[in-house]
Amino acid sequence: MPRRETTLVLLPGMDGTGSLFAAFVAAASAGLPTQVVGYPRHEHRGYVGLAELVTAQLPSGPFVLVAESYSGPLALRVAAEAPAGLRGVVLVASFVVPPLRFPRLLAREPVLGWLLGRTPPGWVVRALFLHARAPADQIEAVRAALRSVAGQVLARRLIEILSLDARNFLPACPVPILYLQAQSDRLVPRSALTAILRCRPDVEVETLPGPHLLLQSQPTRALRSICRFIKALPVG
């Protein structure tokens, strides 16, 4: 295990709650400090506003940003400012350009707000975020997290993703980057990683078996990969 003074700062996916990190935090608790940053559930701040929120909560000692999906561009934006103590960035099933396309008719805030304001059924959670054998409590945890966030907030986050271009933050990132790719990801395609490597060829890549919610479905394996990454980081 890496030394205890390196903190993992966990940035959540589009739900922004941080509640879905419970299994990963439990796995890390034996030897690696973690800090979960949550986002407002009833107010949309966008990537610029969230970067200010995250920066204000960074620990005083050494830390690594671990960014899940939606938060990848946010972590890179924060890292580009070279905050004191930053040692590395871990992108988990994330992207720097839009990972998917929406029909123009659906990609409107009122429509998306209506759609995302409804809690998805279990089969949708399994199909998009997890896998066919995901336990019922894991399914319900995802549904509860989404249910706790205003539909309009989720809609505006998704619209922001659809026009995203965060490629410039990759070469500006002053520390090593690890990309954890989910082998069975149904939300973020492999082309998302290709776009990252074009801008930053030195990104370390590790592919793990599992669905989009990799830290939830494979917390121990993901932690092992992150620990190896931290151990190899330059001592600053």
Residue 102 has pLDDT above 70, yes or no: no
Look at residue 181 in the predicted model and tell me its pLDDT: 97
Rounded to whole angstroms, how far apart are CA atoms 57 and 10?
11
> Any idea which of 113-122, 199-208, 218-227 has the lowest mean pLDDT?
113-122
Task: Report percent pLDDT > 70 for the chain.
Answer: 91
Q: Output 25 or 102, whichever has higher pLDDT.
A: 25
pTM: 0.92
Residue 55 has pLDDT above 60, yes or no: yes
Percentage of the chain lying above the pLDDT 90 cut: 74
Question: What gap in Å lies between CA 164 and CA 76, rounded to an integer?
Answer: 13
- Transcribe the chain into DSSP letters: ---TTSEEEEE--TT---GGGHHHHHHHTTT--EEE----SS---HHHHHHHHHHHT--SS-EEEEEEGGGHHHHHHHHTT--TTEEEEEEES--SS-SS---TTT-SHHHHHHHHTSPPPHHHHHHHTS-TT--HHHHHHHHHHHHTS-HHHHHHHHHHHHT---TTHHHH--S-EEEEEETT-SSS-HHHHHHHHHH-TT-EEEEESS-S-HHHHSHHHHHHHHHHHHHTSPP-
Q: What structural domains and CATH numbers belong to the chain?
A: 7-97+164-231 (3.40.50.1820)
